[in-house]
Structure 1
């Protein structure tokens, strides 16, 4: 129905919308945050709200700070580590050999080997 009288963007029974029905909006202030890529984001906060020191940049996801000249550094990302890599961090090769020898000894005793 092109050019008809349909009301778009509302559903039937939604009722009137606007300041008179919802009440007054709380006073707000906009704060500028800058990321390391130079993007500026300006979220709004209630006047009595505590302003955070960092905010995630909606464009690149890096942390953004209040100081345009000194934005926060990008977080260091750790590469994926397997379970074996974490075990090797905790145990030396000698520890691994001792654990393997102990496990083999238990297995041989269970089987009745000597």
Structure 2
């Protein structure tokens, strides 16, 4: 069976019709808002004309926050190093508190062994 060379619908989807505003309706009024990140990337984002524009928008290229002022983009967020459970405990209790709690626990343990 030979294939015909003139396939008129090559490269189109089944059910695809003419595209345009007549098919989708009119587009809402919108405005382009540039956001600038600390790495110098410019992210042009489109918002509806009546939408509330946020102060920051994450850069799609590097993930840093972008601001509306090109001369003063937001600083990269400070990342906290991973803390162990012991580090959090030491923030809440002094060494003297820890020694007192340990002594109390040892006293209870020794008392339970004597019974």
Give the TM-score normalised by the residue count of structure 2: 0.81
Higher Cα Rg, which structure: 2
Q: Which residue of 2 aligns with 1:83?
A: 85
CA distance in 2, matches of 1:54, 1:83: 34
SS state at 1:30 partner: strand
1:1-114 equivalence runs, <5 A: 5-8=9-12, 10=13, 16=17, 18-112=20-114
Quote how far apart the aligned CAs of 1:75 are: 1.2
**Could you list the runs of 5+ residues in structure 2 that have no partner in the other structure?**
none
Distance in 1 between residues matched to 2:22 and 2:58, nearest whole Å: 34
- Measured in 2, the distance between the counterparts of 1:108 and 1:22 equals 80
RMSD, matched Cα: 2.2
Return the TM-score normalized by structure 1.
0.82
Q: Distance in 2 between matches of 1:61 and 1:90?
A: 34
CA deviations on 1:65-106 (whole Å, 9 max, x unpaired) are 111011111111110001100101111100000111111111
What runs of 5+ residues in structure 1 fail to find an aligned partner? Answer: none
